[in-house]
Amino acid sequence: MERVLSGMRPTGKTHLGHLHGVLRNWRDLQDRYECFYFVADWHALTSEYKEPEVIKESISEMVIDWLAVGLDPERSTLFIQSWVKEHAELHLLFSMITPLGWLERNPTYKEQQEELKGKDLGTYGFLGYPVLQAADILIYKAQYVPVGKDQLPHLELTREIARRFNYLYGEVFPEPQALLTEAPHIPGIDGKKMSKSYNNAIYLSDPPEVIAQKISVMFTDPQRGRRTDPGRPELCPVFALHRLHSSQEKQREIEVECRRAGIGCVDCKRVLTENLLRDMAPLQQRRADFAQRLRDVREILQEGSRRAREIASRTMEEVRRAMSVDW
């Protein structure tokens, strides 16, 4: 079976954006590939190094969400990056051959520095973020890397590093390909992209009352000031969530009724709340179960990290030999 690998930074709670944009896709890939999914805690540290406690607190919460969504430790290798030290060694060796220009040109680097202005990202570690990511991917010789569009420059850099390594020291690494996740548009309660930093997210861990409350204050089509004004579902964030949680039939009905002011936003939201809570209930139940079994969760990660290390250490032997650091 071909190999898939991806990672997620533990910088906070999982929300609906992660669920629909990433985790469902990760879950489905398990049917077709040998999957490796890991907690990118060192990557989180590149931006959160001043408050590293947040990372530590997020790890178990995040992995509980993974398990609740259906990532299956019997089929997939689930692990923590910092528990497989070989990633750090490969990162170091890659840093010897990666031209500074490649990193300085990286569009994500500049964008993130702009976006996270308050964070002081002028560090060596942050510049090297994609080098560490290349090590994560190449150490498992993964064929496919499911990522969002924003990560494509990092994947391209990974391929460039693989090519340069192979050119300098002989063929060791295959060039991985992105598996582009076509992420549906998932707006937060203010209509902007759902994100922890916008404070507009619905979390998998939110209790039903909180979810209901968040939906009740959710933005709608701004042109629908009055109940009698017709609305435009295609511009309404509430409708965007209907697309993910309501039946086709219901969606069509709402679409028609909204356009002719036949349904009010309050009722429309009530239907959404019901459907969303119905979809979330089993997930939240599994979440609660795993939260009671933190020791098992830890064991899953230990076992996964052991499996990951087996492969990573084999690759490192090859790398050391190729690079003549095997004296």
Q: Is 245 in the site for ligand SF4 (CB under 6 A)?
A: no
- What gap in Å lies between CA 68 and CA 65, rounded to an integer? 5
Q: Which of 23, 265, 312, 322 binds ligand SF4 (CB under 6 A)?
A: 265
191 makes contact, choosing from ligand SF4, ligand TRP, none, with CB < 5 to 8 Å by partner type, with none
Least Cα distance to 73 among 304, 284, 312, 305 occurs for: 304
Tokens 């071909």 belong to: 2
266 CB contacts (<8 Å, ≥6 apart)? Answer: none
265 makes contact, choosing from ligand SF4, ligand TRP, none, with CB < 5 to 8 Å by partner type, with ligand SF4
- What gap in Å lies between CA 274 and CA 248, rounded to an integer? 15
Joined tokens for residue 157: 């850099």
Per CB under 6 A, contacts with ligand SF4 among 178-237 are 220-221, 224, 231, 233, 236
What is the nearest approach in angstroms of ligand SF4 to the Cβ of residue 85?
51
Nearer to ligand SF4, 117 or 260 (CB): 260
CA distances from 137 to 38, 64, 173, 259, 308 (A): 11, 23, 10, 48, 12
- What gap in Å lies between CA 1 and CA 312, rounded to an integer? 18
Nearer to ligand SF4, 21 or 233 (CB): 233
Residue 128 sits at φ, ψ, to 5 deg, of -85, 5
233 CB contacts (<8 Å, ≥6 apart)? Answer: 221, 239, 242, 254, 255, 258, 259
Tokens 């949680």 belong to: 245
Per CB under 6 A, contacts with ligand TRP among 154-213 are 154
Residue nearest to ligand TRP (CB): 7
- For residue 274, how many other CB atoms are within 10 A of its CB? 13
Joined tokens for residue 219: 């933005």
186 makes contact, choosing from ligand SF4, ligand TRP, none, with CB < 5 to 8 Å by partner type, with none
How many residues of this chain interact with ligand TRP, rule: CB under 6 A? Answer: 13
What is the nearest approach in angstroms of ligand SF4 to the Cβ of residue 245?
13
Nearer to ligand TRP, 6 or 315 (CB): 6
Q: Is 17 in the site for ligand SF4 (CB under 6 A)?
A: no
Q: Which of 39, 69, 93, 145 binds ligand TRP (CB under 6 A)?
A: 145
- What gap in Å lies between CA 106 and CA 123, rounded to an integer? 15
Q: Which of 202, 263, 319, 322 binds ligand SF4 (CB under 6 A)?
A: 263
Contact residues for ligand SF4, defined by CB under 6 A = 220-221, 224, 231, 233, 236, 238-239, 254, 258, 263, 265, 268-269
Q: Which residues bind ligand TRP (CB under 6 A)?
A: 5-7, 9, 40, 43, 133, 136-137, 145, 147, 151, 154
